Structure 1
Amino acid sequence: MRTRLLAVVVVAALALAGCTSDSSTTTAVSGPLCDELPKGDEPGNPTALASEPVDQALQWITVLTTFEGALRASELVPELEGKKAITVLAPSDDAFMAKFSQDNLDELMIKDKDTLRTLLRAHIVDRSLSLADLRDADSVTTLDGTTVKVGEADKMARIGDEATTVCADYRIANGRVHVINHVLGNLPTTAGQGDSGH
């Protein structure tokens, strides 16, 4: 009887240890920009974001304030959260600054929501792709219907003609987020053109 009881206790302890190990599995991100972002046990670290919906996860990736604000302004969040799997190719704040003037950004976020939604859809793929997947693929199709060439770029992934991943492989509740260093899509570059005193 004691032997049987001991066996039950050991099995239960092993099962608990297994559960604990699974829940504490860390999520690794990679890229030159990752050192500037939360890591280890810091709030917003990659492991902590793995179960978060896309809008909540983006709030913790501190180089994506423009993209996160644009996503909220576009009202696309419910659509993305309703998808089984997504990959977000999110331009950094510096990428947005290099692409758009502040006046242009304000116009997109406040008045021209249709164009904003099209712009954001050009950065989202309707399936979950890791950095390795992007490096191995020849192309991906974004939600706006554009086929974008992808491939290897040193240890990162090339996205289109100019962009590369700079902090890749964030996991979120229904997919992945990769920070990239250029804005995708066909909108004209307006950075440096006539901002009205912001």
Structure 2
Amino acid sequence: MKKQFLSLAMGVTFLASIVACSSPKTDSSADSTVVDSSSMAMDTTAKETGVEVGGAMMVPSKNIVENAIESKDHTTLVAAVKQAGLVETLSGTGPFTVFAPTNEAFAAVPKATLDGLMKPEMKADLTKILTYHVVPGALKAADLKDGEELTTVQGGKLKVSVKDGKVMINGANVTIADVVSSNGITHVIDGVLMPK
């Protein structure tokens, strides 16, 4: 019995399941092993480092959309991505760099314009605007150079400005940089970028 307990303590799952089936006394030890394993899994997740955005931790193990859904500051963006049918695309392998306007940024767009873009018949226009916020590749803030032009998925150009270490994209400030996801990088911005 001591050998079985020692083996169990060393983490041998096979013996733990045999002991659990044969002895009610060690059954609770088998249960605690299972609990310990799930606790270890939870600890691993908790130890994953990320960036807090909109009251939620954005972590590298989630894709761009999964992270954005968690942010209370990006509910308008997430609704627009869903309306445009871009969830699957932005959940794909990428990599992508996304410039993600906050709810406050969308609030600066006239309500009638925003409401109009969310109508099914305006899906193509909404898609153009959203894909204007996406650049192929995973670009961190340090990769962005002053005066550089980035070509968006939509086909338009974004102008990068860097001054005193602060990055701007077409005049919108990057307020939170380098949010790493499994399929790219997100930069939170304080403006909605409109293609010409």
Q: Provide TM-score, normalisation by structure 1.
A: 0.69
Q: Higher relative contact order at CA 8 Å, sep ≥6: structure 1 or structure 2?
A: 1
Residue 28 of structure 1 deviates from its aligned partner by 4.8
Which residue pairs with 1:196 in the alignment? none
- One-letter amino acid matched to 1:174: N
Matched, 1:45 2:68: no
**Secondary structure, counterpart of 1:65 in structure 2:** helix
Q: 1:76 pairs with 82, 86, 93, which one?
A: 86
Q: Deviations over 1:62-96 (max 9, x none)?
A: 21111111001110121222343001101111111
Which residue pairs with 1:26 in the alignment? 49
Stretches of structure 1 lacking an aligned partner (at least 5 in a row):
1-19, 39-43, 188-198
**Secondary structure, counterpart of 1:50 in structure 2:** coil
Question: Stretches of 4+ moved more than 6 A in 1?
Answer: none
The structure-2 alpha-carbon separation of the partners of 1:144 and 1:28, relative to structure 1 and needing over 3 Å to count, comes to same
Contact 1:135 1:156 in 2 (8 A): no
- One-letter amino acid matched to 1:123: H
Which residue pairs with 1:67 in the alignment? 77
Q: Deviations over 1:41-82 (max 9, x none)?
A: xxx313xx2211222111112211111110011101212223
The structure-2 alpha-carbon separation of the partners of 1:145 and 1:97, relative to structure 1 and needing over 3 Å to count, comes to same
Q: 2:158 pairs with 148, 152, 155, which one?
A: 148
Contact 2:132 2:195 in 1 (8 A): no
Higher-Rg member (1/2): 2
Which residue pairs with 2:115 in the alignment? 106
Whole-angstrom distance in 2 between the partners of 1:63 and 1:135:
27
Q: Provide TM-score, normalisation by structure 2.
A: 0.69
Alignment identity in percent?
A: 31
Q: How many residues align?
A: 154
Which residue pairs with 1:186 in the alignment? 195
RMSD: 2.6
Bigger mean CA deviation after superposition, 127-136 or 92-101: 127-136
**Secondary structure, counterpart of 2:158 in structure 1:** strand
Contact 1:135 1:158 in 2 (8 A): no
The structure-2 alpha-carbon separation of the partners of 1:137 and 1:78, relative to structure 1 and needing over 3 Å to count, comes to farther
Residue 181 of structure 1 deviates from its aligned partner by 0.9
**Secondary structure, counterpart of 1:143 in structure 2:** coil
Residue 178 of structure 1 deviates from its aligned partner by 0.8
Stretches of structure 2 lacking an aligned partner (at least 5 in a row):
1-42
